[in-house]
C-alpha cells in the first residue's frame, strides 16, 4: 500500500478524488515549465503585497522572487524539486490552514 500524502494522512479529501503528486514528481520538472504569460498575470495580481502564502506551491513555478513567500506543499516529491533560490516549502495542505 502506498504511503498517504500529508493531506490524506490528516483525513482530508479532494473533491472528485485525490491526486498522488509524489507518483508524478520524478518527471514533473522535466515536463512542466512555467508559462511566462501566466507568470506576468500572477505577478500583477499580487499588486503591492510584500508577503505571499503559496498554498499548493509545488515546485514554485510561479512563485515571486521579489517578495517574502511562505510555501505550503503536501507532496514530498514536489518539495524536493524546489530550486534552492526559493523558500523551502512547509509540509502541509490547504485544509490544515486556520
**What is the predicted pLDDT for the residue at 12?**
46
- Domain ranges in the chain are 6-96
Phi, psi of 72 (to 5 degrees): -125, 125
pLDDT, one tens digit per residue, over 36-56 is 999 999 999 999 999 999 998
By CB atoms closer than 10 A (0-12, 13-18, 19+), residue 48 is exposed
Strands (E), 8-92: 51-55, 68-72, 89-90
Task: Report how far Cα 18 is from the mean position of its chain's Cα atoms.
Answer: 15
Average pLDDT over residues 80-95: 89
Amino acid at each position: 500500500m502506498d504511503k498517504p500524502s500529508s493531506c490524506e494522512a490528516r483525513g482530508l479529501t479532494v473533491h472528485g478524488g485525490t491526486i498522488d503528486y509524489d507518483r508524478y514528481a520524478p518527471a514533473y520538472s522535466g515536463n512542466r515549465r512555467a508559462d511566462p504569460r501566466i507568470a506576468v498575470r500572477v505577478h500583477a495580481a499580487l499588486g503591492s503585497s510584500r508577503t505571499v502564502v503559496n498554498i499548493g506551491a509545488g515546485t514554485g513555478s510561479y512563485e515571486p522572487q521579489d517578495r517574502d513567500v511562505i510555501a505550503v506543499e503536501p507532496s514530498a516529491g514536489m518539495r524536493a524539486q524546489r530550486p534552492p533560490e526559493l523558500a523551502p516549502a512547509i509540509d502541509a495542505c490547504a485544509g490544515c490552514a486556520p
